[in-house]
Amino acid sequence: MTTEARPQYILNRPRHPGGAKVAVLSTTPESVLDDYERLLDLAEVSSNLDPGEETLLKLNLSWTKYFPACSSEPWQVEGLLRGLLRSGFDRQRLLAVENKTVVTNPRKGAELNSWMPILNAYEVRFQPLTEVEWTRYDFGDELLRLNEIFPEGIEIPQPYIGKQIIHLPTMKTHGHSVMTGAVKNAFGGLLKEVRHYAHKYIHEVLVDLLLMERQLHPATFAVMDGTVCGDGAGPRTMVPYLGNRILASSDSVAIDAISARMMGFDPMEIPFLRMAHERGLGIADPKDIEIVGEDIEGVSYGFTSKRSFVIWGDQMLRLGFLRSLEHLLLHSPLMVWAPFASNVYHDWMWYPTIGRHRIRSFDRTEWGGLRHDRYMSGRVSVPETLRSN
């Protein structure tokens, strides 16, 4: 397989010379689609992205099954599409993408998370990254860990090269990285299925992803859903929390920093955010970030990042008392036990018991009602002014 040369025309461009801007809005199930349109205006999406260029919409699939805050919410997907089309983006040049992990299936996940009725109604293509060409790409020697983790070369999806990208994360905690958002959403697109190799050095790898995106994409943007957030043992076995807010920014580090602060964390104490800030890859210090829209001074949800049983076991094998077994159990043909054990725990034990109870509680909220009434019922209607000819 050939190695792609680095496109010099998008290398080393300046980022955020005067700080960063993050738009934050309060929202309700009745107004959320209109609010997403207003959010994109506040975050100046048309100034940060070129409406005439091809644009990747990187969805966030943390579980094939639906669980609140786990993956991109359906109203997040529809609100983004409405805002982009009203801002002059061409639906024919929009491409929604998602990858697989050892425990997720992108096509099935797109159905179970109610993305497909929306994408079909708005006539936007969905492309699983498992079905595109992957190519080795030379990112040079500035990466902190990934060249070491993948010594034979880093493979990336061919469609990523030279395309602007919008990330669609949700506001939630993560057992490996404290929190997850726009920065980690690239983890699910730029690395192949064996990206779990990177868990051992997750914070350095997240900085590497920012370095990679800087070379690959002319521009990046992020739209984060915090209508329902995830507290505790993220990214799957969480406690849903109604935050009733949405966020957007052209700075992935800044939007993650503000999300972290809203959840109750100090962004500069989260290693990947601090390292990214120190390397000029984005702004993580809240005092250097301009908030537009809602005043969030004093907002703190008091979240706590915890490790699920599966993440705890993974960390014990990579960094803890079981590390002598890491290569045998995680980097050899025997590693098939790991996704099997994860599926048994998450899909067959946790989801049917604790998970379903939490979903039933969520379904009794107005956001749960919106999911059932508009998205699970297939009642997605496109405004007349946004229909294609």
Sorted by where each begins, the domain ranges of the chain are 3-10+18-308
pLDDT one digit per residue (tens) for the chain, 389 residues? 445 554 533 433 334 456 799 999 999 999 999 999 999 999 999 999 999 999 999 999 999 999 999 999 999 999 999 999 999 999 999 999 999 876 789 999 999 999 999 999 999 999 999 999 999 999 999 999 999 888 889 999 999 999 999 999 999 999 888 999 999 999 888 987 555 667 778 999 999 999 999 999 999 999 999 999 999 987 889 999 999 999 999 999 999 999 999 999 999 999 999 999 999 999 999 999 999 999 999 999 999 987 665 665 565 555 666 566 556 545 655 455 566 777 788 888 999 999 999 999 999 999 999 999 999 988 899 999 999 85
pLDDT of residue 255: 98
So what CATH class is 3-10+18-308?
alpha beta
Residue 241, CA distances (Å) to 228, 267, 301, 325, 351 in order? 5, 20, 9, 37, 18
Model confidence pTM above 0.85 = yes
The candidate with the shortest Cα–Cα distance to 246, out of 91, 94, 83, is 83
In angstroms, the CA 306 to CA 336 distance is 25
Q: What is the b/e burial string over 182-203, where b = at least 16 CB atoms within 10 angstroms of the residue's CB?
A: bbbbbbbbbbbeebbbbbbbbb
Look up residue 171 and give its two tokens. Answer: 């506001």
Q: Which residues of 273-310 are buried (b: 16+ CB within 10 A; e: fewer)?
A: bbbbbeeebbbbbbeebebbbbebeeeebebebbbbbb
In terms of Cα–Cα distance, which of 202, 160, 212 is closest to 177? 202
Residue 157 phi/psi, 5-degree rounding, is -70, 130
- Give the tokens for residue 239: 């406690």
| Beta carbons of 303 and 265 less than 8 angstroms apart | yes
Asked if 205 and 139 count as a contact pair (C-beta separation under 8 A), the reply is: no
